[in-house]
Amino acid sequence: MPKSSKKSTAPQGRAHVWRDEFILILSLIVFTGVIYALSDTLSPMLQGPVLVWAGVLLALVPAFIWLAFFYMQDRAEPEPKSYVFGIFILGCLLAAAVGTPLIDSIFRVSKWMYADSITTLLAGILVIGFTQEYLKYAAVRFSVYHSDEFNEATDGIVYATAAGLGYATVLNMQFVISNGGVDLGAGVIRMAVVALAHASFAGIVGYFLGRAKFESEPIWWMPLGVTIAAVMNGTFNWLRGQVVQTGVNLTGASTNPWLGLVLAAFVALITMGVLVWLMRRDAGVKHEK
């Protein structure tokens, strides 16, 4: 590993960030494929509470993969582990304590958002998107943001991703528990989709957070970041609904969840690409100064 110095903000110094994200996408797809292939064999063995616990374990996997690779970095100056892990937990707690109650109990979104397509999109952005992205932002902003451990622009993305994965983990657990255990094959696809999507949107929030800390950005900068992430969040869920729906034909209607995973992986890769490009450009601009 190249030795990174404290002063360097060059993206090479944080190449592992991109590598972690890429590994997350790749290993999630591989993992989903493996579980899906095994689900027919495993499902008969898992009944009742065991199935629920299996689902809960599955829900933890995305965060585990990412954190595992993150912690196994051999780096001269690693981010303090407790901070990244703490933010992950904070993301969990905010989702469970604020996000879900607000969206499900106060807004009762699922009762009315499917009224028509436009409503689905708008509710996805205005209620679900903003709530979730604000909470991910808050998890970083009101904890580690002002500390010395947030000393590079890329740190924003690392911490926000941790918060995003925390949020996704809670959503996936709630998905498992409220359904009393889920079919492993179909369930793992949905969990991978949720994890990829939330990590991606969080990445955007994180980029804006990093820039906000180290550059003097205008007042609309951070609102813009959260808004972009919220819009992507709502649009993604709406798009996923459109993509997986096949309509009823003579062979029945089998929604195709794999298309949702393809979409999520695509969104995650594009988001990552754009963020890498932005970070490189930012670094380039800085070097020219």
Partner 1 sequence: MKPHKLNRFVYMLIVLALATLACSGGAAPVAPVSTEPLEAPSDAGNSSDTNNGLSQSERTNLISATVQIYGLFEQNGDLVPGYVGSGTIISPTGLILTNAHVASPASQGDAQNEPDALAIGIVESEDRPAVFSYLAEVKAVDGFLDMAVIQIVSTIDGDSLNSNDLNLSYVKIGDSNQVHVGDHVSIFGFPAIGGETITYTDGNVSGFTAEDPIGDRAWIKTDATISGGNSGGLASNDAAEIIGIPTIASSGANTDITDCRVVQDTNGDGQLTEKDTCIPIGGFINGIRPVNLALPLIKSAQGGQAYVSPYNSGVATADSGGNESIRNFQWYLTDSDGNFTDPVDSYENGVNIIVASFDFSGFTKGQGWSDIWYLNGENLYEGSYTWEGESSGSSYDYLNTTDGSNLPEGTYTVEIYVDNGRGALGSASVDVGSGGSGGVPSKPKGSGVTLFGNIYDADTNKPLADVYVFVLVPGVTYEEWSDNNFPDADVYSYTFTDANGNYQISDELERGKTYTVGSSISEYYDQAGNDLVWTDADPDNYELNIGMSK
Partner 2 sequence: MKNNNLSLGDRFAEISVFIITAIALLIGWNLKSNVENRAYLFEANGISVQAPDGWRQIQTSGDEAFHSAELSSDGFGTTYIVRNIPIPADASAGGIASLLTLERGQKMTAFRVLDQREVNVNDKIAYELSYVFVESNPDLTHASAPKVVYGVDYIYINGNQAVVVTYWAEEGKYEIDLDRFHRFLQSVKF
Enumerate binding residues for partner 1 (CB under 8 A): 48-49, 52-53, 56, 60, 63-64, 67-68, 71-72, 81, 85, 88-89, 92-93, 96, 110-111, 114, 166, 169-170, 173, 175, 177, 179-183, 185-187, 189-190, 241, 244-245, 247-250, 252-255, 257
Among partner 2, partner 1, none, what does residue 36 contact (CB within 5–8 Å per kind)?
Answer: none
Helix (H, G, I), strand (E, B) or coil at 144: coil
Among partner 2, partner 1, none, what does residue 10 contact (CB within 5–8 Å per kind)?
Answer: none
Contacting residues for 144 by C-beta, under 8 A, at least 6 apart: 83, 86, 87, 150, 159
Q: How far is CA 17 from CA 75, 157, 262, in A?
A: 12, 8, 22
Q: What is the DSSP letter of 2?
A: P
In the block, tokens 């970070």 appear at 279
In the complex with partner 2, the residue whose CB is nearer, 69 or 130, is 130
In the complex with partner 1, the residue whose CB is nearer, 25 or 65, is 65
Among partner 1, partner 2, none, what does residue 67 contact (CB within 5–8 Å per kind)?
Answer: partner 1
Contacting residues for 192 by C-beta, under 8 A, at least 6 apart: 28, 29, 31, 32, 62, 261, 264
**C-beta contacts of 97-102 below 8 A and 24+ residues apart:** 98/131, 98/135, 99/131, 99/132, 99/135, 99/167, 99/170, 100/170, 100/171, 100/174, 102/131
In the complex with partner 1, the residue whose CB is nearer, 35 or 212, is 35
Per CB under 8 A, residues contacting partner 2 are 107-109, 111-113, 115, 119, 122-123, 125-127, 129-131, 134, 137, 141, 146-148, 151, 212-214, 216-217, 219-223, 226-227, 230
Smallest gap, in angstroms, from Cβ of residue 205 to partner 1?
20
Smallest gap, in angstroms, from Cβ of residue 24 to partner 2?
26
**Dihedral of alpha carbons 196, 202, 208, 210, sign:** negative
In the complex with partner 2, the residue whose CB is nearer, 120 or 169, is 120
In the complex with partner 1, the residue whose CB is nearer, 128 or 212, is 128
